[in-house]
Amino acid sequence: MTIKVGDHLPEAKFRVMTGEGPQVKTTDDIFKGKKVALFAVPGAYTNTCHKMHMPSVFQNAAAIKAKGVDTIAVVSVNDVFVMKAWQRDTDMNSEGLYLADGNGEFTKAIGMEFDGSGNGLGTRSKRYSMLVEDGVVKKLNVEDSPGKVDVSGGDTLLGQL
């Protein structure tokens, strides 16, 4: 089942890097009682994700937060160590929460996985942006191709706030 506007996010666990090392965060930890702009990418450091998607998010981060968003989160089917390094390289002002969905459990639970094994990537997440309020999907923008950032960028979600 693919998630849609009006659905509650399923229970899932993510890994995040903290000063004390990797920690587990649940969907409740991240979304309960908060307004969250969630951006999903197929893979950290891949061309479109690194050069197009993340710049669109963080060029608009202050304006997104000014519209009442508590958290800007980025999720990918990558491990926590890659996500921490990618955060260092893409989020110069530490405005985002980078969520490692290493086994793709969250991605599969919301029906956003795709098979990238033809390119040696294994199971990955579709590219999308989502506005979530208190665990409920309010806006959802899914790209029709993993190599595009036509509807999932920070500028699009900002325009919907």
**Residue 121 tokens, joined:** 């990537």
Active site residue 49: yes
Query: Strands 128-133, 71-76: parallel, antiparallel or unpaired by DSSP?
Result: unpaired
Query: Strands 71-76, 35-41: parallel, antiparallel or unpaired by DSSP?
Result: parallel
**Residue 20 tokens, joined:** 């004390």
Q: Which of 3, 9, 12, 49 is catalytic?
A: 49
Residues 26-60 as b/e (b if ≥16 CB within 10 A, e otherwise) read ebeebbeeebbbbbbbbbbbbebbbebbbebbbeb
Q: What residues pair up with 133 in beta bridges, in sequence order?
A: 35, 136
**Residue 69 tokens, joined:** 């968003």
Tell me how far CA of residue 16 lies from CA of 31, 50, 81, 84, 159, in angstroms: 14, 19, 9, 8, 28
**Where in the sequence numbering do the catalytic residues fall?**
49
